Amino acid sequence: MFNHVVADDVIESIIVEGQAGAIDFLEMNASIFDALVDYIHGMDLALRAQPICDQLTDDAGTAANLQNTERRAIALHAEQAADLGSLGATTFDIQSCMRPPP
């Protein structure tokens, strides 16, 4: 009955628009899902890195070395600073685990 009231080309355009909208919706959901997976992965790495960070900062000498490394990294070019920081803290930020000495 619908075919008798509306022309076939109109029906086809409605279907094509609906498919395009569904594809856009699925792509948007995939992007959100990817971002969520990346966030969860980052949280997992941070949780695994925290005990290592605690061990490093519990020793006063090691904590001082980390602070010196951070000061040197700030003085270097941004790319060099990223490389220097990644040597001692691949999965976590040095600043995030530094706490004042007891």
Domain ranges across the chain: 2-97
12/22 Cα distance (integer angstroms): 15
Tokens 């930020």, residue located: 93
The tokens of 25 are what? 């919706």
18/38 Cα distance (integer angstroms): 30
C-beta separation of 85 from 73 below 8 A: yes
C-beta separation of 82 from 93 below 8 A: no
The tokens of 46 are what? 């941070």
pLDDT of residue 5: 60
Question: Residues of the chain whose pLDDT is less than 50?
Answer: 1, 81, 89-92
C-beta separation of 61 from 14 below 8 A: no
Which one, of 91, 96, 100, lies nearest residue 44 by Cα? 91
